[in-house]
Structure 1
């Protein structure tokens, strides 16, 4: 068994090696070096984050990270994850990474650690790893997918016509690039919509600048497939005429699209706008050559789960949030 050593990663030099390890360990969500660099460079400086890599024979074989849960921040709660290349498993790499990450956050007064794994075969060993260390399953998120070649996109013609007849126009992000308020209006709309998503979390609001980094500057975002519902009759002081939106990202390493956020203001629900936004994205992707689309919804979100089924999405996996309460060391 070849010895390994832990060290802090160096960016951008280690980005490609980290992407390779993460992609091999989690083939359902592979990443690119560009994506890894963006994650590192766009981190919110107001929150603690730390990473460790395991190096064996001059090769990065494992990577782990942990930090404040900036999406639902409490100073004592941390979110983490680790990946070990399949070729290097069974040698204590995962244990060493885990112990080092926990040591670092214990020193900061951490009382709780959260992470997420799927029920897909490649995560089975990871789930057992967590259970042995006292993690408990607390929350489920369902993954569903469809391929545009299997979707009957004309089945929604009446829906699209009805939404348009109601005065709503679906505009892609590039089509709204000339609106100087676009980013600020979307920022306000995003905050309103996320507070209505049943995620089992108390959300922390990001700054406008951080939101733009995370969302609009994300290299995975496909602006031409991401749509905003615009109702010119609305003039909300925060969201203006924007009443809903849906974003599409592209996993370049996995060659599939994924839905980020889809939502509509409370006052405008029941008009078919959310479904129309998703259909617009599906049609745009089909026109661009087609492909698979994945979406992720928390288990209590019955309305969105039902809508996705109507659109043709089928359940492919369950992703479970695991939580560990750290006991005080004696």
Structure 2
């Protein structure tokens, strides 16, 4: 049975939608489901939520209205995803603009389904991962990189420095590959207050910023943003921030760092490899002007 998502359904819906995420997005899914403007449905089988879908009405940080759809692995192949897509198509029928979603890149079946539902791949982000070692050694390496690039490093949190993050990101995002405007204030507002920020500064002010947060599994951390302001590029600032982020996570008990780089961002792809990261789980970004209910193949 497909029915509107009720408050008591949200925890199960969050866990299902999280199956599509390359990084821990549970706080993002919960925030979306609790947003009064979101329209969400769930599939219920024997009293258990086995599928979930949502259509947001407020553009997300990519400047597009977010959607999500997931079905529990053990009940896939029964047409539940098709039924949910049909409900989402009906919910979005009076809404104009672009709909968007992200999907972890180890789900080719999910990608084919999304394409049949009217979405097309906009870009791909390569995933990277690294095991974290001694925080003191990592901090020393970050200090050396900072000295070479002429910056000083400091740690803070999103709750303490949200406005500073937005200002630094607004400058550093210039020239980065993106297909849509980025609503940085909304992006920052969606991050928990305890999210860790690493800033690089010089005599001219903020030179760059890196945002990291715990990534679900014990010891796991995720890099959600790294950027260098335009006046400070090609000085090694990003390398110093990356290494500082590893040290900050390790000092908080982190054992691994994961992140993604847009495949069109050659400098960041090269940097991730240069600092010792290895290819890991990434994601596809998809978008479309409408949602359709795909025929079952």
* Aligned residue number for residue 291 of structure 1: 255
Describe the shift of the 1:291–1:159 C-alpha distance in structure 2 as closer, same or farther (beyond 3 A): closer
* Aligned residue number for residue 52 of structure 1: 41
The answer (yes or no) to whether the contact 1:163–1:276 under 8 Å persists in 2 is yes
Question: Residue 16 of structure 1: CA displacement?
Answer: 2.2
Secondary structure, aligned partner of 1:116: strand
Show the 5 A alignment for 1:36-47.
Answer: 36-41=29-34, 43=35
Gaps of 5+ in 2: 293-297
Question: Is 1:228 matched with 2:199?
Answer: yes
Alpha-carbon distance in 1 for matches of 2:159, 2:99: 40
Pick aligned residue for 1:113 from 78, 99, 119 = 99
Query: Looking at both structures, which has the greater relative contact order when contacts are Cα pairs under 8 Å and sequence separation is at least 6?
Result: 2
The answer (yes or no) to whether the contact 2:208–2:237 under 8 Å persists in 1 is yes
Show the 5 A alignment for 1:21-40.
Answer: 21-23=16-18, 25-26=19-20, 29=23, 32=26, 36-40=29-33
Describe the shift of the 1:158–1:29 C-alpha distance in structure 2 as closer, same or farther (beyond 3 A): closer
Normalization by structure 1: what TM-score?
Answer: 0.76
Secondary structure, aligned partner of 1:315: strand
Question: Residue 273 of structure 1: CA displacement?
Answer: 1.5
* Aligned residue number for residue 122 of structure 2: 138
Normalization by structure 2: what TM-score?
Answer: 0.83
Larger mean Cα displacement after TM superposition, 275-284 or 250-259? 250-259
Question: Residue 14 of structure 1: CA displacement?
Answer: 2.3
The answer (yes or no) to whether the contact 1:15–1:36 under 8 Å persists in 2 is no
The answer (yes or no) to whether the contact 2:138–2:243 under 8 Å persists in 1 is no
Question: Is 1:195 matched with 2:174?
Answer: yes
Name the Cα RMSD after superposition: 3.2
Alpha-carbon distance in 1 for matches of 2:53, 2:159: 39
* Aligned residue number for residue 127 of structure 1: 111
